[in-house]
């Protein structure tokens, strides 16, 4: 088997050694010995051909209660430290992204021509939307320490270090490991929506603020080398947006007041970061020679650039003080020089940039000044323009209450045609429809208050209005009317989100009827963003059926947009896990239907994936490179549409998968009690993960559970069911009925082969014997037959995947991942066995000690770290 790279192995060994020394020093030799024995037994079981876990279970069962928490913490922190070593290695290793970018540009320049390629690069719009779904288990204070460890490990790779410098860095690592051990890894208080937004701003400040201009500078050099031209200073291939503080779907904690506060925080934070940049530029730009335009502003100055920076900094400082006062609740008047658009910043910056180039100082122009110009183009005046998201039912309720108050009828009971007729009349009328004061429910008052906030704020700091569970054209028109009645002066893009299987199937007909409306075509200016939901469709129909439904919906929407000459952007609501649409960027983009990208893509980056992809400047640089390469390839060299016979087979596979999935989730009488007993779904509420409740409604069963805790719960017990249930039936059907065609799809259809690769990964992370142990400890005997059936499905699926991929063991073509999972197994397994025991105690006793309850929470965090996924 492939061994992990030596640098990675050495870093894992070093961090493990430092953790052991820390445990020995703080918890004593006796506990340290217990941790070591558990680790050694787990390792031996893992290395045995048919390892019997009984010795490990016996050892864990004999632990004193007082030892459980420190032992759980030890294994949790080792897994976190192993992840840190991974992160450092893959961010420091020779960059594949650079090679891929250069190779792709060379290839595309030859195929498409340099001019055409430069034109596409100039128009790229990769929109990354940061969302705060409750998947980030790790506390922010620990994330900062983990980042410092990554930096220190990177510093140790310098071959010219002297012995004392190596010792100094080892000492720093030891201190950081000790700080981590002395810090509670579990949040005591659930973060607010404002806290989540601050975390998003911190990612920008600590990582993306540097990574974005660094990457664009690199792209500029590569283009100069291969295309013979530099990129314009206004280039902005990346734009970041946020749902933090704007996503109120099912989250009563996000109110109009929270949205206003987050918008203000963004403006304050942006002003703070720009103030630092401008202060430094003022120190750098000491030269006196300037063009006539800049000289006209400062005719007698010996340092006109410095004076320009001083004036701009005063304006930024004025904005900073205004935002701070407003955040403190002081309703001061807006200053005359308040920054309200990026042009307020770019005016002076571009003037200085052009002047420096005109007086033959291009290296100075293209230094930190150009970086700041590119930051302004990317981050604007509030770092991340905010999306607003609300459930479509809330808009129906608001219109219904208004219509009934005006004695015009009952909006809910109207047909779709009657609703559209009413809404279009009101939208085109110059008279207001809404009285100043009228009786309304609290929910409707909140919807209208949010619309008024949107109408009051500068256009630049807001982005899209997203409608969850959009089902009809009237859902979009209703939002437009509510915004109009609340004083909106610009046409905010309204985005229908199609989530369930039925919604995806209906999406093309909904958009067809919407685009037929002349009023809407004018409102939208032939521009449209449509959001595709991955999480809820997979939860509704199973992974294979949902994935194929998403593909078909996108194909039809692309054709429809072309018919109406609409410039359409598909917004992919992907989660971190495979069960929620996650996976490598390259595979995801290569799987898109041809013609669906066209240089523009919008994608959510959720929870812990923000940290994994963008938490460090070097990691963020590589992620940006991956996105750009994948978007260029999907735009200029998309994969061909699937053959008719492939479509026919996968359609039949999807039907078999849907039946297999729903026969369990909806049709099996024992499924809900089995799920509730087996997994820690109920106990997840103990973790203060995020501001949003785990359920859309306070009552209801599995159907009301959000996709994130649904996936999290199954991952904890190592069954990973949402990512594979139903696929056994689909692959079995194809292998039985048309194995040659299935082989052809594997070899020639990236959409299908990518799906199988991701499926293989989640099956490789599953562990049937560990799930069996949970079942024995937690599930009443009358429900265990279902568990046996599900694990049998999983085992059969593993064999089918090996048959399909013509291999003996899973992940044969990804030995690095396979080895990484093997290394983690001896550390994750004890957490699983202890979690099952702690769940049993927690459920049977009202008097579980605070330390054991904390240990239960730590097992959840540790298993998530070991699997590198939560939800």
Q: Mind telling me the catalytic residues?
A: 133, 539
Find where tokens 């290395």 sit. Answer: 47
Answer yes or no: are the C-beta atoms of 237 and 223 closer than 8 Å: no
3-state secondary structure labels for all residues of 27-69: HCHHHHHHHHHHHHHHHHHHHCCCCCCHHHHHHHHCCCHHHHH
Strand partners, 601: 126
- Taking a C-beta distance cutoff of 8 angstroms, is the pair 300, 269 a contact? no
Closest CA to 470 of 444, 506, 445: 506
DSSP class of residue 206? I
Q: Quote the CA–CA distance of 370 and 574 in Å, as a whole number.
A: 33
Alpha carbon 412 to its chain's center? 35
> Cβ(373)–Cβ(217) under 8 Å?
no
Return the SS3 of 76: helix
Contact status, residue 765 vs residue 688, Cβ threshold 8 Å: no
Which residue, 41, 73, 404, 370, is CA-closest to 212? Answer: 370
Q: Which of 216, 223, 221 is nearest to 105 (CA)?
A: 223
Taking CA atoms, 644 is separated from 44, 53, 396, 651, 708, in Å, by 51, 49, 41, 10, 35
3-state secondary structure at position 172? helix
Beta-carbon contacts of 647 under 8 Å, excluding residues fewer than 6 positions away, are: none
Contact 532, 571 (CB under 8 A): yes
Q: Which of 674, 712, 669 is nearest to 690 (CA)?
A: 712
Helix segments in 328-432, DSSP class H: 343-358, 362-364, 370-379, 392-405, 416-428
204 in Cβ contact with 384 (< 8 Å): yes
278: Cα within 13 Å, side-chain hemisphere: 23
For residue 784, count other CB atoms closer than 10 A to its CB: 17
3-state secondary structure of 692: coil
Per the structure block, which two tokens stand in for 588?
Answer: 């995801």
Residue 234: CB atoms within 10 A of its CB come to 12
Which neighbouring-strand residues pair with 127? Answer: 239, 602
Residue 579: DSSP 8-state: G
**Axis-axis angle for helices 473-485, 442-456 (nearest 10):** 70
394-to-380, 446, 478 alpha-carbon distances in Å: 31, 10, 10
- Taking the C-alpha atoms of residue 827 and residue 72, their distance in angstroms, rounded to an integer, is 10
Taking Cα atoms as reference points, which of 551, 601, 600 lies closest to residue 749? 551
731 neighbors 802 (Cβ within 8 angstroms): no
């Amino acid at each position: 088997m492939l061994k992990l790279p030596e640098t990675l192995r050495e870093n894992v060994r070093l961090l493990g050694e430092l953790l052991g020394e820390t445990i020995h020093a703080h918890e004593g030799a006796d506990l340290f010995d217990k941790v070591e024995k558990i680790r050694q037994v787990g390792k031996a079981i893992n290395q045995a051909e048919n390892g019997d876990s009984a010795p490990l279970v016996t050892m864990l069962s004999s632990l004193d209660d007082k030892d459980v928490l420190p032992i759980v913490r030890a294994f949790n922190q080792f897994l976190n430290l192993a992840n840190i070593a991974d992160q450092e290695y893959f961010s420091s290793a020779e960059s594949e992204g650079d090679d891929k970018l250069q190779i792709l540009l060379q290839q595309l320049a030859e195929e498409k021509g340099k001019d055409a390629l430069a034109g596409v690069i100039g128009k790229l719009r990769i929109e990354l939307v940061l969302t705060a779904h409750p998947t980030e288990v790790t506390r922010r204070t620990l994330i900062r320490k983990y980042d410092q460890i990554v930096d220190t490990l990177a510093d140790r790779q310098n071959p010219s270090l002297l012995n004392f410098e190596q010792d100094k860095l080892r000492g720093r690592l030891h201190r950081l490991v000790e700080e981590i051990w002395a810090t509670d890894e579990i949040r005591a208080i659930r973060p607010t929506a404002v806290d989540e937004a601050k975390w998003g701003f911190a990612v920008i400040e600590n990582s993306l603020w540097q990574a974005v201009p660094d990457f664009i500078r690199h792209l500029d050099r590569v283009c100069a080398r291969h295309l013979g031209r530099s990129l314009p200073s206004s280039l902005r291939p990346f734009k970041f947006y946020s749902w933090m503080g704007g996503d109120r779907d099912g989250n009563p904690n996000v109110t109009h007041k929270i949205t206003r506060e987050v918008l203000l925080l963004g403006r304050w934070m942006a002003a703070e970061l720009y103030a630092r940049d401008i202060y430094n530029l003022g120190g750098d730009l000491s030269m006196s020679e300037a063009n006539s335009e800049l000289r006209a502003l400062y005719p007698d100055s010996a340092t006109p650039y410095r004076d320009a920076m001083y004036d701009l900094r005063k304006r930024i400082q004025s904005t900073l003080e205004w935002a701070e006062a407003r955040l403190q609740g002081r309703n001061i008047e807006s200053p005359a020089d308040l920054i309200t658009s990026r042009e307020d910043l770019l005016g002076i910056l571009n003037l200085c940039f052009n002047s420096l180039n005109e007086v033959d100082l291009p290296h100075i122009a293209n230094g930190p000044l150009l970086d700041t110009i590119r930051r302004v183009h990317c981050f604007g005046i509030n770092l991340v323009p905010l999306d607003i998201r609300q459930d479509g039912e809330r808009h129906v309720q608001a219109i219904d209450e208004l219509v009934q108050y005006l004695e015009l009828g009952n909006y809910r009971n109207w047909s779709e045609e009657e609703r559209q007729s009413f809404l279009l009349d009101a939208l085109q009328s110059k008279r207001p429809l809404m009285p100043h004061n009228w009786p309304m429910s609290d929910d409707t008052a909140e919807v209208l208050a949010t619309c008024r906030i949107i109408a009051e704020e500068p256009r630049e700091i807001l982005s899209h209005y997203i409608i969850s569970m959009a089902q009809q054209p009237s859902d979009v028109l209703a939002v437009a009317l509510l915004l109009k009645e609340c004083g909106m002066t610009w046409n905010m893009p309204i985005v229908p989100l199609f989530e369930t299987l039925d919604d995806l199937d209906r999406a093309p007909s909904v958009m067809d009827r919407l685009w037929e409306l002349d009023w809407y075509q004018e409102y939208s200016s032939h521009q449209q963003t449509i959001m595709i939901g991955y999480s809820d469709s997979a939860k509704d129909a199973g992974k294979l059926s949902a994935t194929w439904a998403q593909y078909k919906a996108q194909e039809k929407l692309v054709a429809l947009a072309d018919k109406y000459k609409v410039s359409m952007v598909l917004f992919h609501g992907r989660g971190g896990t495979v069960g929620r649409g996650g996976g490598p960027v390259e595979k995801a983009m290569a799987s898109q239907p041809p013609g669906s990208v066209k240089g523009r893509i919008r994608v959510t980056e959720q929870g812990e994936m923000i940290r994994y992809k963008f938490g460090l400047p070097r990691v963020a640089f590589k992620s940006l490179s991956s996105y750009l390469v994948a978007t260029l390839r999907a735009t200029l060299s998309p994969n061909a549409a699937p053959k008719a016979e492939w479509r026919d087979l996968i359609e039949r596979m999807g039907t078999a998968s849907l039946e297999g999935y729903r026969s369990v989730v909806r049709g099996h009488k024992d499924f809900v009690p089995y799920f509730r007993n087996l997994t820690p779904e109920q106990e997840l509420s103990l973790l203060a993960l995020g501001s949003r409740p785990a359920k859309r409604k306070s009552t209801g069963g599995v159907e009301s559970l959000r996709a994130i805790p649904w996936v999290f719960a199954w991952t904890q017990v190592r069954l990973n069911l949402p990512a594979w249930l139903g696929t056994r039936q689909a692959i079995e059907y194809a292998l039985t009925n048309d194995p040659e065609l299935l082989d052809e799809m594997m070899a020639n259809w990236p959409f299908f082969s990518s799906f199988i690769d991701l499926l293989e990964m989640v099956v490789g992370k599953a562990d049937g014997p560990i799930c069996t142990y949970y079942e024995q400890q937690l599930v009443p005997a009358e429900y265990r037959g279902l568990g046996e059936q599900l694990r049998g499905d999983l085992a059969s699926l593993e064999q089918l995947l090996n048959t399909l991929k013509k291999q003996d063991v899973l992940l044969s073509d990804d030995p690095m991942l396979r080895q990484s999972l093997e290394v983690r197994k001896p550390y994750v397994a004890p957490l699983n066995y202890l979690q099952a025991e702690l769940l049993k105690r927690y459920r049977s006793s009202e008097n579980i000690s605070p330390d054991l309850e904390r240990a239960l929470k730590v097992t959840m965090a540790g298993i998530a770290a070991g699997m590198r996924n939560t939800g």
